[in-house]
């Protein structure tokens, strides 16, 4: 039967991919082709964020598929500071009912990151 046949895949020498070893530049950061502006969308400017900034914790809106290591490397690359801790929170979408078209649609949602820095380090937001 064709469903259970075992076919061996032939690997050609031309299909072998050689990985280049990334070297550190003068600042000690490994350059990569990642677009960090896609990972860090913007800084959240709220009352709570302003209070947390006094304790060296900054709040950013981030991409929904970004993980903590990507967020940390984006902060290091863009703001030239190294975070001690990165915490992420996923905010749910909220249903909103429209009176005119009598439909329910969703707004909001996303992901935000709380980035804690060492004492003495700061990020200029504005």
- Domains of the chain by residue range: 38-117
pTM for the full predicted model = 0.68
pLDDT 10s digits, 107-123: 889 999 999 999 999 99
Residue 51 phi, psi dihedral angles, 5° rounding? -65, -40
Which H or E element spans position 106? strand 104-117
The pLDDT of residue 13: 43
Residue 69 near residue 95, CB atoms below 8 Å: no
66's CB contacts (< 8 A; 6+ apart) are 39, 74, 111, 113
Q: How many of the other CB atoms lie within 10 Å of CB of 114?
A: 17
The pLDDT of residue 23: 59
Class of domain 38-117: alpha beta
Opening angle at CA 83, ends 80 and 87, nearest 5: 135
Average pLDDT of the chain, as a whole number: 82
The pLDDT of residue 12: 45
Instruction: Name the stretches of the chain with pLDDT < 70.
Output: 1-33, 126
| N- to C-terminal Cα separation, the chain | 66
């Amino acid at each position: 039967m064709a469903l259970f046949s075992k076919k061996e895949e032939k690997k050609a020498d031309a299909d072998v991919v050689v990985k280049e070893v990334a070297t550190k530049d003068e600042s000690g950061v490994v350059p990569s082709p990642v677009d960090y502006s896609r990972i860090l969308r913007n800084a959240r400017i709220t009352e709570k964020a302003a209070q947390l900034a006094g304790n060296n914790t900054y709040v950013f809106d981030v991409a929904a598929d970004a993980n903590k290591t990507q967020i940390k490397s984006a902060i290091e690359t863009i703001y030239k500071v190294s975070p001690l801790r990165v915490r992420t929170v996923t905010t749910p979408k909220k249903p909103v009912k429209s009176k005119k078209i009598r439909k329910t649609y969703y707004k909001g949602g996303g992901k935000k990151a709380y980035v804690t820095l060492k004492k003495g380090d700061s990020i200029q937001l504005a």
